[in-house]
Amino acid sequence: MAQAGMQELLKKTLAENKDIVPSDPLFLHNGELYPTMICCPETLKILDTFETRSDDVILVGYPKTGTNWVGQILVELEAASGKYDEEERRKRSMRQRERELSLFPYLEFGDPAKFERMKQLPSRRVIKTHLAPQRLPKSIFQKKAKILVLFRNPKDTAVSYLHFANGLKLLPTPKTWDEFFSDFIKGKVPWGLYLDHIIEWNKYLDDKNVMFITYEQIKENAALEIKRMAEFFDFTVNEQEIQSIVEKTSFKTMKDEASETNEGIGKFLFRKGVVGDWKNVFSEDQNKEMDRKFEESVAKTKLGMMMKYDVYCQY
Ligand code: A3P
């Protein structure tokens, strides 16, 4: 769903589920933190009842890695590949359908009855989630749905996360950068330690239904990466359609559209959209700490190397 109506939906869902939603801004489920404002323990408990379709288009990305951007690219690819006429396109509009069905745009958000309502979405569904692979519903792997896994350099991800968490009041109190960095590096934030997600995904390197991509790769050559996404998901699109998707999903276009329709969330979802903003924020000690953690845990793994830490996370 676009940002339009999202706050309204949040309020409604929280009111409906007041008996099962904890009063703290964060709650623990299976050892991981989630924000009460958008997630609900009951939904997480029954996540495994979600019925994947083999043609579902699954996008997985830790918060603030660019999931709204890539999600929109996939929605556009599905629409272009479907060659729907104008009316069909309007009827099938993911945004429209999600609004009608009161669906939050991420699998683990919202009320427990959502999985039943999701059955009404027409194929191919584009499904986004921030969950680490071991927490995904089993049916995603059983049905062999294709999964695109998105990463972003951890320094920009952390900076983006702070703005978002403070902006949306996801945390118990607004955090300073220093406080947030200290939580982020320990994984004491919703969806846990980012580096752990990367480590876990290294177990899926040989799975041909999983494709890895980085925010930075798309920033460098969106057309090329959109083409790779289309091939992976078997979307049939021509060069002209790819070019049109590049334009429709540019930072400016998405930000402008969000500011026309949203109720305040857009400015946190579409903040700067650049690579390297961390250089304005990280202290020397924080830099060293992140470099050390990355080196210790991820740097020598295949996915760690794919992230080009030396290029994007060094001065
Ligand atoms: P910044 O806060 O660094 O600007 P997510 O969608 O996973 O919440 O990620 C949000 C980040 O992606 C934000 O980063 C946001 O600006 C950036 N983003 C969103 N749309 C984008 C686009 N079309 N192009 C580039 N970056 C985009």
Minimum-distance ligand 1 atom for the alpha carbon of 62 = 7
C-alpha distances out from residue 152 to 42, 53, 61, 70, 198, Å: 30, 28, 9, 12, 10
Gap from CA of 19 to ligand 1 centroid (Å): 34
Least confident of 23-27, 40-44, 156-160, 253-257: 23-27
Q: Please provide residue 300's backbone torsions phi and psi, each rounded to the nearest 5 degrees.
A: -90, 0
Q: What average pLDDT does range 55-81 have in this prediction?
A: 97
Q: Which residues pair with 128 in a beta bridge?
A: 59, 106
In total, how many domains does the chain have?
A: 1
Q: What average pLDDT does range 52-70 have in this prediction?
A: 98
Q: What average pLDDT does range 269-275 have in this prediction?
A: 95
CATH of the domain at 298: 3.40.50.300
Residue 314 in domain = no
Residue 298 in domain = yes
pLDDT value at residue 312 = 98
d(CA 191, CA 66): 15
Handedness of CA 135, 136, 141, 147 (dihedral sign): negative
Residue 253 in domain = yes
Residue 72 in domain = yes
Q: What average pLDDT does range 45-68 have in this prediction?
A: 98
pLDDT at 1 over 60: no
Residue 68 in domain = yes
Residue 313 in domain = no
**CB within 6 Å of ligand 1 — which residues?**
61, 63-69, 156, 160, 163, 249-251, 254, 269-273, 277
Question: What token pair was written down for 39?
Answer: 């997630």
Tokens 């890895």 map to which residue?
Answer: 212
Q: Which of 29, 130, 163, 197 is catalytic?
A: 130
Q: Are 285 and 181 in contact (CB under 8 A)?
A: no
Q: What average pLDDT does range 146-164 have in this prediction?
A: 97
Q: Pick from 69, 73, 126 the residue to mutate for probing ligand 1's pocket: most ligand atoms within 8 Å of its CB.
A: 69
pLDDT value at residue 18 = 63
Q: What average pLDDT does range 105-132 have in this prediction?
A: 95
pLDDT value at residue 231 = 98
Residue 315 in domain = no
d(CA 300, CA 287): 19
Least confident of 15-19, 36-40, 106-110, 278-282: 15-19
Question: Residue with the nearest Cα to atom 26 of ligand 1?
Answer: 273
Q: Would residue 130 show up in a list of annotated catalytic residues for this protein?
A: yes
Q: How far is CA 154 from the centre of its chain?
A: 14
Mean pLDDT of the chain: 92
By C-alpha distance, which of 78, 105, 111, 127 is closest to 233?
78
Residue 239 in domain = yes
Give the residue numbers spanning the domain of 189.
2-308
